[in-house]
Structure 1
């Protein structure tokens, strides 16, 4: 089926107090694995390309974007295409023509006033091109290998009062919030601040987004969706699955040099990871309503 606007997937899910999963991709194998996993789970999905992934491909946006769009066109489930963590305005201007329906503009490392000004202008540019816009307030640490902020550091968590004003001033369509998750975690040990999430959900009238979800245990993820998260970003978990499968295969077959021999099990491992996350993130509401922060076990 053709690409579906990613913003529509998020707003529809959030309106029904559910969430849509968004997976960051780097290679064609990532794209194929995300689509395959979504088809197995029978769930809509968002394929995300980050600015860092574009840099990895020599600064060229179109090759990976075109591959993702082609995979989506052949998918049996709705697939949206999202450009993630954009800081470069030139890249932002390319998004719509490259097939993206939404973009996450990230000025969260700037001082608050500068973040507001930059995000407001980015939202103006993006909306003029028909793009749905996500932004971030607070700082979800761990980007580009940087250490996470201390949980009590100024700006480390999203303030609900600031969040309400930020959304109104910038005109964004969704807000990524800092409630305890961290980018690039390879262990699932993050503990979320569910009380803060409840205050944010009450303060903000746009869908809330959880970044750094690879490090969040299943129970915490389910509770976050039940508490108001409408979009859940996953990236590192796919890379952990891919790398583990490649290492295991080459340990068993050190003589092999054909990348198809080790990329096939790597792609399968990533697809399985997608299925497992979708089972948690897109679980039915009755099951999610039974999950409260007090019931989170961290499994």
Structure 2
């Protein structure tokens, strides 16, 4: 049997960036200057690099991006003032809090202060609630689950399929589960208390791995024909790896997203696609 088809995020990201650039140009013709604010409340150099990467993408798309630094030593009140202030500004169309924030800062409390119509990472309770209620068209969907779905859709039609979601965490699984249900997928949710992961995964045509546990899903758990989307990311011995043991999975499944190079590149682009959605919602348009 041939190795799995690799579902890379870059081609979809490139196509999406072209659409975003066109939408940005039209908005500017209408007098709207799209602007994203990225809030950093961490001394971790990696967090700053994430923001810098977004800045480079924004520049290519013609989108203004402001990086707002909050000194973690100034405490929770300073972080919340910054987020609330950005939410109140009419010229700011999107807000993203780069995670993680330094301890003991409370990211959840800060996210709660983001205007849901400016929440380009789709993390506010209102956006997640709209998705869970089946009103995804009225919401801004989290970028990583959306990237997982777009990559799966590039390989197959989702309606009527069975999918296993491995991981029920805040950043991916909690949103991905109702987003799949909204697309008429039958969903099996797997987590740390699932007694037999292989048995749960086996009947499903789609497997979404989002547990943050390197190599959790092995080839022996998978079967021919499955499409596997790996949203996990960990560093092991200096190497970035996913939740799926790619070496043993590749000879068995039909398609697999590589780590790195799969979900990640598309996720970063969808932040800006979400900015376009945010502007439409703020202007009262679908």
* Fold conserved between structures, TM > 0.5: no
Q: Which has the larger radius of gyration?
A: 2
Larger helix percent: 1
* Normalised TM-score (structure 1): 0.30
